[in-house]
Chains A and B, each alone.
Chain A
Amino acid sequence: MGLDYQLVLWNKHKKTYDKVVALYMLIYIVLFASITIIFNSETSIETLVIRAFGSLAIVMLHIILVIGPLSRLNSKFLPILYNRRHLGVSMFIAALIHGGFSIFQFHAFGDVNPIYSLFTSNMDYNSLTNFPFQVLGFFALLILFTMASTSHDFFLKNLSPSIWKRLHMLVYLAYALIIGHVFLGAFQQETSPFTIGFLLIGFIVIGSLHIITAFKESKIDNVKAKKDTEGWLKVCDINEIEEDKAKIFTVNNERIAIFKYKGKLSAVHNVCKHQGGPLGEGKIIDGCITCPWHGYQYLPHNGQSPPPFTEKVATYELKLLKRIVYINPDALEEGTEVKPIII
């Protein structure tokens, strides 16, 4: 959490994460260059750069796309979600080097604007073998640029987390465009079962993880709770909630997190105001509900971030009858104080 906007909000963990990412990127480039020089020594330096950074960007995009569903399926993967934005920006830089060198090498030496040349040098859209695949890569790069340039809390706050998230879901379109770019481009010229196999397996893994996660989440959303005569909903037995953790309960497709801490119970809306992280999958740390994604904190009894922070989430009323927890499904105004239930 930060009060002021900074260009990069680094901390000790993020610096370590970024160093590891940079190191792996460097190792990949060096390995790619060495293997190319050994097995395909005729390759020019420009082609080597284009291929090395293009393939690096694709590998990184695969990693980025599996982080989300993996951390939904298993909380052990949450630490790699913590700094995914930096990984995304690093991937964009690799893609930009690939795209920049390609436009320079293939389109910058004519007498027309390179971007105009990219769109007009090949108009064979009816052909699969000679499809203007560079156009697909260009649009994917534009999406990645939009995402990288808005990967900052300033845009997240000013666009609103929901719009920001929808904007960043364009990465899925970018992924489809990149698959088209590679299959209709590089693979038409240099057919290799290995590279095709890599992307095929990559797609199966990414697609399966996203679909499994989506259906798992739908199942949770579709749970219907029964109201008692006074409109309260039965949640669970008190013993089902672990100390300093929460039970997530679904009401009208929205999730509520009911936390047990220091002999008390409080309920807040499950969606973090920062990036929409699941608060109920976090813990109570230093008396505050702590989002498992990026560590944003809220006080359990009023859903407010501790001063000087200003984020607020909706709160809910609870009651405890014979060790059974009940909730009033009507959300209170964000930041409304509700007296915790004493166990």
Chain B
Amino acid sequence: MNSGLRKAHKYSWLLLIIIIPVIMFFSIKDLMLFESTKKADISFNFSKDIPDREFENDIIKVAFYPKNIEIILKITLKNASSSVYTVDENLKKQKVIGQLTTAGIYTFEINDIPKNIMLFDDIKDVLITQTNF
């Protein structure tokens, strides 16, 4: 290598040893490195309103309100797709009301309260979970 290339290497690395630790620090500073994800997710709570109906299993906690549905996804799913469908009395999919990604609280506005909802992986065409009223 000539002198110019050696200098380019040197300045590239002087820059990288500043930038990369900053990326690392800010991306992990809020992560709970030594706690399990499940423990953290249990702390999610519904809004204060009293729901019409509630449902809970290992994956989701659902509250039906007159104008919306609140879903707490307890764990981040491994499915590539997780769409939320309304379900009729015969447990058949009706329409998509939204999609879930990582663990957290999701609120979807609705016009009519459905009988049930289901979480469906459209890519693999498999049912992930559903409410059962």
Contact = CB atoms under 8 A, between A and B. Distances in A.
B1 A271 contact: yes
Interface stretch (A55-63, A145-153, A213-221, A303-311): A213-221
A75 interface: no
A116 to B, nearest CB: 18
Contacts of A193: 33-34
A236 interface: no
A37 interface: no
B1 to A, nearest CB: 4
Interface of A: 42-44, 46-47, 105-106, 109, 128-131, 162, 165-166, 169, 172, 175-176, 179-180, 183-184, 187-191, 193, 196, 199-200, 203, 207, 210-211, 214-215, 217-218, 221, 253-254, 271, 276, 278
B5 A217 contact: no
Nearest to A213: B9
A210 to B, nearest CB: 4
Interface stretch (B17-25, B43-51, B108-116): B17-25
Contacts of B37: 190-191
Given A172-B13, A218-B6, 16 more contacts: A43-B78, A130-B101, A130-B102, A162-B5, A176-B16, A176-B19, A183-B23, A190-B37, A191-B32, A193-B34, A211-B14, A214-B6, A253-B3, A254-B2, A271-B2, A276-B1
Contacts of A276: 1-2, 5
Contact of B12 (A109, A131, A172): A172
Interface in B74-103: 76, 78, 80-81, 101-102
A19 B23 CA distance: 36
B24 A200 contact: yes
Contact of A207 (B6, B16, B32, B34): B16
A183 B24 contact: yes
10 contacts: A128-B30, A129-B30, A130-B101, A166-B8, A183-B23, A214-B6, A214-B9, A217-B6, A218-B10, A254-B3
B35 to A, nearest CB: 9
A42, A191, A278 pick with most chain B CB within 10 angstroms: A191
Contacts of A191: 28, 31-33, 37
B23 A176 contact: yes
B27 to A, nearest CB: 4
A217 B16 CA distance: 18
Contact of B13 (A109, A199, A207, A253): A207
A68 B28 CA distance: 30
A184 B37 CA distance: 17
A179 B78 contact: no
A187 B80 contact: no
Nearest to A171: B12
Interface in B102-126: 102, 122-124
Contacts of A46: 80
Contact of B27 (A43, A176, A183, A221): A183
Nearest to A185: B27
Contacts of A183: 23-24, 27-28
B33 A221 contact: no
Contact of B122 (A109, A165, A169): A109
Given A128-B30, A188-B27, A106 B12 contact: no
A253 B26 CA distance: 39
B27 A211 contact: no
A179 B28 CA distance: 12
Contacts of A190: 37, 76
B28 A214 contact: no
A106 B80 contact: yes
B76 to A, nearest CB: 5
B78 A128 contact: no
A109 B20 contact: no
A211 B6 CA distance: 11
B24 A203 contact: yes
A221 B16 contact: no
Nearest to B21: A203
Nearest to A133: B27
A221 B2 CA distance: 10
B17 A179 contact: no
